[in-house]
Amino acid sequence: MKKILLVEDEPTINRMIYNYLVKEGYEVYNTFDGLGAIDAIKKHTFNLVCLDIMLPKMSGWEIAKHLREKSNVPIIMMSALSDEEDILKGYDLKVDDYITKPFNPRVLVAKINALLARFSNEKTVPNHLIQVPHLDVDTKRKVIALDGQELSLARKEFELLSFLIQHPNEICSREFLFDSVWGKDVDGDPRLVDTYVKKLRKHLNDYADFIKTIFGVGYRFEAYD
């Protein structure tokens, strides 16, 4: 199910758009101010953002700029600002579409459907890129990004986290992880894996619990939004 962030401070408009999108089959996270939008963006991954401009606490312009610094998620601006300069400012910030108020919610839904369809067709992920919620692995460059920010990982840290990400929801014993990452011919204590998991959890910060401990066995990687 596609997930949409709806940022609109006027409760009646917010609820109306929310209802139309839910009926269309989308999962919708709605918020009423700029700081709520920023908080949602930090915690969740969205397929599209519907963004009002005149918002409490932080403007839609600021949110769009923040988004574009770390993501190419499709953005539709919704605003009563219909001057040419305002519309051009939106496109300068690299929003994907701009709809002026008042508008028919069916038109907004049609724009969303078309934009997501186009984006899905254009978005081809190369074989060397692996994406899970909040994490992107580039096996070619040997880097892992957390919410768009590259982690500073030592080589074995990268190899262990990359291996776990590529085996989601699979219970992996310490011995299996040690043999897979360090090598079956390497003489060493499989409990070295525990030390590296502690390091990885520090790197993952708020998402440390993506790596679950299976007591007496090993670990399981489980990413979620």
Residues 154-177 have pLDDT tens digits of 999 999 999 999 998 899 999 999
β pairing state of 172-173 and 218-221: antiparallel
184's tokens: 């079956």
**pLDDT for the residue 126:** 59
Instruction: State what percent of residues in the chain have pLDDT above 70.
Output: 97
> What pLDDT does residue 214 have?
95
How much is the pLDDT for 197? Answer: 97
**In angstroms, rounded to a whole number, what is the distance separating the alpha carbons of residues 132 and 83?**
40
At 87, the pLDDT band (50, 70, 90 cuts) reads: confident
Query: Residue 145: pLDDT above 60?
Result: yes
Both tokens assigned to 154 = 């030592």
Percent of the chain with pLDDT over 90: 64
Q: Which of 7-16, 93-102, 202-211 has the lowest mean pLDDT?
A: 93-102
Higher pLDDT, 86 or 175: 175
Amino acid at 70: K
Kindly tell me if the per-residue pLDDT of 221 is higher than 90: yes
- Pair 115, 76: CB distance under 8 Å: yes
The predicted pLDDT at position 106 comes to 92
Task: State the Cα–Cα distance between residues 194 and 174, nearest whole angstrom.
Answer: 8
- Residue 121 predicted with pLDDT over 70: no
User: And the tokens for 14?
Assistant: 């917010």
pLDDT at 127 over 70: no
Could you give the domains of the chain?
3-122 (3.40.50.2300), 129-221 (1.10.10.10)
Instruction: Name which residue leads in pLDDT, 123 or 20.
Output: 20
pLDDT at residue 31, as a whole number: 94
- pLDDT tier at 30, thresholds 50, 70, 90: very high
Q: DSSP characters for 163-190? A: HHHTSBT--EEHHHHHHHHT-TT----T
pTM value is: 0.56
Is the model's pLDDT at 113 over the cut of 80?
yes
